[in-house]
Amino acid sequence: MERVFIFFVLLMFLSLGSKAQDLNKCFAEAASRYNIPPALLVAIAKVESGFRPWVMNINQNGMSVKVINPKSYEEAVYYVKYLHQNGYNYDVGIGQINVSNIRRFNIDPVSLLDPCNNLTVSAFILRENINRYGFTWDAIWRYNGRRDYAYKVYRALISMGFVAKRGN
């Protein structure tokens, strides 16, 4: 299973060159640390950010109202500091960590622009949900807070070849 995981993740990140290996290692380490299936963590990152490490979403009434896709790390630092200092409800990084968790764990939001750190926090939050709700779709949708989220993750698992479509 681990070899299959590595193969699929490397294919997904082929365009990133040597960064693909680094990101693959980040997924594997975060998943292993919190006993999360690596494919699940990859699917969550695909759904949350499309694997963009600096993307941010501004939320209102439980919905994303604006996507910020910085062109550089420096630009991402500027935006995340601005959002945090001005009390926005926002998500940041590859796993889209929400400001409520940033505050709850007293995390410097700039540190979440590092994909490895972000994935570690993502895996921790997912592990918390699994410990509370079991290894169920309930635990997965609570990562995002919307019930339809679990289906999005399921579809991502299918599209990446981690799960066969039902009826096939």
**Beta carbons of 50 and 40 less than 8 angstroms apart:** no
- pLDDT per residue over 70-89, tens digit each? 999 999 999 999 999 999 99
Sequence spans of domains, the chain: 2-159
CA 49/CA 21 separation, integer angstroms: 19
Across 104-133, average pLDDT: 98
Residue 17 clears pLDDT 60, i.e. is over it: no
pTM of the model: 0.86
Residue 101 clears pLDDT 70, i.e. is over it: yes
Give the DSSP H or E segment for 91: strand 90-92
2 phi and psi, to 5 degrees? -60, -40
- pLDDT per residue over 28-60, tens digit each? 999 999 999 999 999 999 999 999 999 999 999
Q: What is the pLDDT of residue 2?
A: 47
Q: What is the pLDDT of residue 10?
A: 45
CATH 1.10.3470 for domain 2-159, yes or no, is: no
Average pLDDT, the chain: 90
